[in-house]
Structure 1
Amino acid sequence: MKARDVKTNEDAILIINERNLTHVKVGIFDIDGVMRGKYMSKEKFISSLKSGFAFCDVVLGWDSKDQPYDNVSFTGWHTGYPDAPVRIIPESCRDIPFEDNMLLFMGEFTQKGAEICPRSLLKRVIKRSEEMGFDAFAALEYEFFMFEETPESVREKGFKNLKPLTPDWFGYSVLRNTVHADLYKQILDMSEKMDFPIEGLHTETGPGVLEAAIAVDGAESAADKGALFKTFMKVLAQRNGLMATFMAKWSTDCPGQSGHIHVSLRHRDGSGSAFYDPNKQHCMSKIQRHFLAGQQRLMPEFLCMIAPTINSYTRLIPGFWAPTDATWGVENRTTALRVIPGSEKSQRVEYRLGSADGNPYLTLSAALASGLYGIMNEWEPEAQVKGNSYDQEHPAYLKLATTLWDAAQRLKASKAARELFGDAFVDHFAASREWEEREYRKHVSDWEMDRYFEII
Structure 2
Amino acid sequence: MHFQDVDQLTSFLDEESIRFHKVGVFDMDGVFRGKYMDRDKFESSLRKGFGFCDVVLGWDSNDQLFDNTEVSGWHTGYRDAPVSLDLSTVRKIPFEDDTILVIAQFDGDYEAVCPRRLLGRSIAKAKSMGFGVRAALEYEFFMFKETPESARAKGYRDLEPLTPGMFGYSMLRSGVHAELYHELLESMELLECPIEGLHTETGPGVIEAALRHDEALAAADKGALFKTFTKILAQRMGLMATFMSKWSNEYPGQSGHIHISLEDHETKHNVFYAGDDPDGLSQTMRWFMGGQVTLLPELLPMICSTVNAYRRLVPGMWAPTHANWGIENRTTAMRAIPGGPNSTRSECRVGPADANPYLALGAALASGLWGIENKVEPPPVIVGSAYANPSDAGVPLPGTLGEATRKFSASKVARELFGDAFVDHFAATRDWEDRLARKHVTDWDLARYFEII
Q: Give the count of matched residue pairs.
A: 453
Task: Indicate the residue corresponding to 1:136 in structure 2.
Answer: 133
Tell me the equivalent position of 2:90. 93
CA distance in 1, matches of 2:280, 2:433: 42
Look up the match of 1:72. Answer: 69
Q: Where does residue 373 of structure 1 map in the other structure?
A: 370
Matched, 1:388 2:392: no
The answer to whether the 8 A contact 1:21-1:42 is kept is: no
Distance 1:234 1:271, change over 3 A: closer
| Structure 1 residue 453: Cα displacement | 1.7
Residue type matched to 1:403 in 2? T
Mapped to 2, the partners of 1:276 and 1:39 lie a distance apart of 45
Which of the residues 318, 324, 328 maps onto 2:315? 318
Structure 2 residue corresponding to 1:269, chosen from 260, 263, 266: 266
Q: CA deviation at 1:12?
A: 2.0
Residue pair 2:382, 2:393 contacting (<8 A) in 1 also:
no
> What SS does the aligned partner of 1:78 have?
helix
What is the DSSP-based 3-state SS (H/G/I as helix, E as strand, rest coil) of the residue aligned with 1:206? Answer: coil
CA contact (8 A) 2:54 2:80 kept: yes
Quick one: which of 212, 237, 240 aligns to 1:240? 237
**2:208 counterpart (196, 201, 211):** 211
Correspondence for 2:295: 298
Match of 1:346 in 2: 343
Q: What is the rounded CA distance, in whole Å, between the counterparts of 2:418 and 2:346 in structure 1?
A: 22
| Distance 1:359-1:252 versus aligned 2 partners, 3 A rule | same
- The separation in 1 between residues aligned to 2:128 and 2:321, in whole angstroms, is 33
Matches within 5 A, 1:112-127: 112-127=109-124
**Alpha-carbon distance between aligned partners in 2 of 1:95 and 1:271, rounded to the nearest angstrom:** 30
Task: Using the TM superposition, name which of 292-301 and 15-24 deviates more.
Answer: 15-24
**5+ residue gaps, structure 2:** none
Cα distance in 1, alignment partners of residues 332 and 61 from structure 2: 30
Q: Provide the C-alpha distance between the structure 2 equivalents of 1:249 and 1:324, rounded to a whole number of angstroms.
A: 15
Q: Residues 115 and 146 (structure 1 numbering): CA distance in 2 closer, same or farther, change over 3 Å?
A: same
Shift of 1:387: 0.7
1:202 is aligned with what amino acid? H
Secondary structure of the corresponding residue to residue 389 of structure 1: coil
Tell me the amino acid that sits aligned with residue 426 of structure 1: V
Contact 1:145 1:209 in 2 (8 A): yes
Where does residue 258 of structure 1 map in the other structure? 255
In structure 1, which of residues 354, 357, 362 is the aligned counterpart of residue 354 of structure 2?
357
What one-letter code is carried by the residue in structure 2 that aligns with 1:237? A
Query: Which residue of structure 1 lines up, in the alignment, with residue 20 of structure 2?
Result: 23
Amino acid at match of 2:366: A
**Which residue identity lines up with residue 24 of structure 1 in the other structure?**
H
Contact 2:19 2:98 in 1 (8 A): no
Aligned to 1:455: 452
Matches within 5 A, 1:191-210: 191-210=188-207
Of stretches 28-37 and 92-101 in structure 1, the one that deviates more from structure 2 is: 92-101
1:325–1:394 contact (8 Å) kept in structure 2: no
Instruction: Say whether 1:190 aligns with 2:209.
Output: no
Specify the code of the residue in structure 2 equivalent to 1:267: D
Tell me whether 1:307 sits opposite 2:304 in the alignment.
yes
Question: How many angstroms apart in 1 are the aligned matches of 2:349 and 2:17?
Answer: 45
Contact 2:26 2:33 in 1 (8 A): yes
Percentage of identical aligned residues = 56
Name which of structure 1's ranges 388-397 and 426-435 shifts more when overlaid on structure 2. 388-397
Instruction: Look up the match of 2:280.
Output: 283
Determine which of 132, 144, 151 is the counterpart of 1:154: 151
1:357 is matched by which residue type in structure 2?
D
For 2:321 and 2:60, locate their aligned partners in 1 and report how far apart those are by CA, in whole Å: 27
- What is the DSSP-based 3-state SS (H/G/I as helix, E as strand, rest coil) of the residue aligned with 2:184? helix
**What stretches of structure 1 of length at least 5 have no aligned partner?**
none
Tell me what 2:404 maps to: 407
**Partner amino acid, structure 2, of 1:15:** F
- 1:302-359 deviations in Å (ceiling 9; x for gaps): 0011100000000000000000001111111111111111211111111101000100
Determine the C-alpha separation between the residues in 1 that align with 2:289 and 2:70. Answer: 34
2:47 equivalent in structure 1:
50
- Specify the alignment match of 1:441 in structure 2: 438
Distance in 2, matches of 1:343 and 1:57, equals 46
Cα distance in 2 between the residues matched to 1:345 and 1:264: 9
Q: Structure 1 residues 283 and 394, CA, compared in 2 at 3 Å: closer, same or farther? A: farther
Alignment counterpart, residue 426 of structure 2, candidates 381, 404, 429: 429
Q: Distance in 2 between matches of 1:222 and 1:117?
A: 17
> Does structure 1 conserve the Cα–Cα contact (< 8 Å) formed by 2:140 and 2:255?
yes
Q: CA deviation at 1:122?
A: 0.3
Decide which of 420, 429, 434 is 2:417's aligned counterpart: 420
2-structure distance, mates of 1:420, 1:116:
13
TM-score normalized by the length of structure 2: 0.98
Structure 1's 72 and 396: CA in aligned 2 closer, same or farther, altered over 3 A? farther
Q: Matches of 2:223 and 2:18 in 1, distance apart?
A: 27
| Distance apart, 1:413 and its partner CA | 1.1
CA shift at 1:21, angstroms? 3.5
**TM-score for the superposition, normalised by structure 1:** 0.98
The answer as to whether partners of 2:138 and 2:209 remain within 8 angstroms in 1 is yes
- Secondary structure, aligned partner of 1:31: coil
Distance 1:13 1:347 in 2: 40
